[in-house]
Amino acid sequence: MAELSDPPVLNRSSVETAHKRIKQNIHCTPVLTSQTLSDIASTPQSQQALAGTPLKGKTPAHPRIQFFFKCENYQRIGAFKIRGAFHALSRLKPEQLSKGVVTHSSGNHAQALALAARTHGVKAYIVMPTISTPSKIAATKGYGAEVIFSGSTSDEREAVVEDVIKRTGATLVPPYDHPMVVLGQGTMALELEQQVQEMVDSDSSLSVHREHDRTPTGQPAVNGNAENGSTLPHEPRAGHLDAVIAPLGGGGMLAGIATALEGTGTRVFGAEPSFEGADDGRRGLEANQRIPTVKTLTIADGLRTPVGKINWTIIRDKSKVKGVFAVTEEQILAAMRLVIERMKVFVEPSAVVGLAVCLYDEDFRTIVEEEGGEEGWDIGVILSGGNTTLEAVSKMFATESRAGERAEAKVGMAGERIAENVAG
């Protein structure tokens, strides 16, 4: 985007202002719970699950966890990105809007900016890597955008964007690395904390802290001063989230959530895929420097990007983001299966990396066990989107023929194929 003469301060108040600007254009997505998934997370992993890892032979962690899922897969365009896109466009000047907007994205931000631009009556130019999924390309075109294809790396995409800007004068709306985008994405955290408070006020059994006093509905408890970032020790309360975990790709969502929740006592964590170096955020924190490039074919295709420069300044701050963890492709698929089969919620792989960390990462689970004690933690999990297809999901979970037929109830336990008058 063009340089701002009065750039916003990245704090909770700015996120609240952003929410007021965009709430008429977005959905307040639902928050769901799942006792089944909470029970699974609260059960120690088996020794078999730890075999082949550095933790082989060690006692698995035994945390107590209650999940609250913020379902951004039910957001407009099927993902959280619409929040940042609408907020960014709302801050552009008329002369900028008249020349259109441009961005580069593998899919979700592409659709978000296309829809936001159409809503504002603005031309949108979307640079998409050729490896983008056909469903996301089709959806982006369906919102009226002009799609221009590029290579898959950030450098390749950005070069094409520069060509579009020279040709059209369009204003760049980055997919994640801009304060206006960060503030827009952070609005989901404001909704989440209020929704959880209202849910627990209505049914205290939803919280691990059910015996503690609750703060009044609509008044999230704040420890310390959110303006200066000071934080007092967090006292567990029913209705107050102990932690929120979100996927980390370019970092706009995680940085926005951390900004919105700074000073509230709610810990913020990031989650990434580890495949082919996709965990650049985690590795960057270990090395104490941002990793500028990522080239990976992780199934979590929405997270195939390095953390942005602006977002890195927030994510590396331990007072804002407590840590970043990474999970394998197999763990992502296992978490995705649980969400689809047990919760009946359709999500894309990128959406479940946070849940996978809670279920399978022993370092994270140990933190919950040690800091949460016998009560445990209430954890907000961001399900960031659901933009995939049945064909893609089917291929991800493709099985040996007979096992697949058994799962489809086409053969019996002994391989028989006879069925007659079977009640559903």
β-bridge mates for residue 290, sequence order: none
Can you say whether residue 107 is alpha, beta or left, with left for phi > 0 and alpha for psi between -120 and 50 degrees? Answer: left
Side by side, the strands of the sheet bearing 65-71 are 31-32, 65-71, 377-383, 243-247, 267-273, 323-327
Q: Are 133 and 77 in contact (CB under 8 A)?
A: no
Q: Are 129 and 156 in contact (CB under 8 A)?
A: yes
Catalytic-labelled residue, pool 106, 150, 207, 350: 106
Q: How many CA atoms lie within 13 A of 40 on its CB side?
A: 17
The closest of 73, 61, 71 to 359, measured between CA atoms, is: 61
The letter for the amino acid at 266 is T
Parallel, antiparallel, or unpaired: how do β-strands 65-71 and 31-32 relate? antiparallel
The closest of 424, 10, 419, 380 to 195, measured between CA atoms, is: 380
β-bridge mates for residue 383, sequence order: 71
Q: Are 80 and 181 in contact (CB under 8 A)?
A: no
Q: Are 252 and 182 in contact (CB under 8 A)?
A: yes
The letter for the amino acid at 274 is S
How far is residue 130 CA from its own chain's centroid? 23
How far is CA 235 from each of CA 218, 223, 226, 317, rounded to the nearest angstrom? 18, 9, 16, 22
Catalytic-labelled residue, pool 81, 132, 150, 207: 81
β-bridge mates for residue 68, sequence order: 380
Can you say whether residue 210 is alpha, beta or left, with left for phi > 0 and alpha for psi between -120 and 50 degrees? Answer: alpha
Q: What does the alpha-carbon distance between residue 286 and residue 326 come to, in Å, rounded to a whole number?
A: 13
81 is catalytic: yes
98 is catalytic: no
Kindly calculate the radius of gyration of the chain based on its CA atoms and give it in whole angstroms: 22
Q: Which residues are part of the catalytic machinery?
A: 81, 106
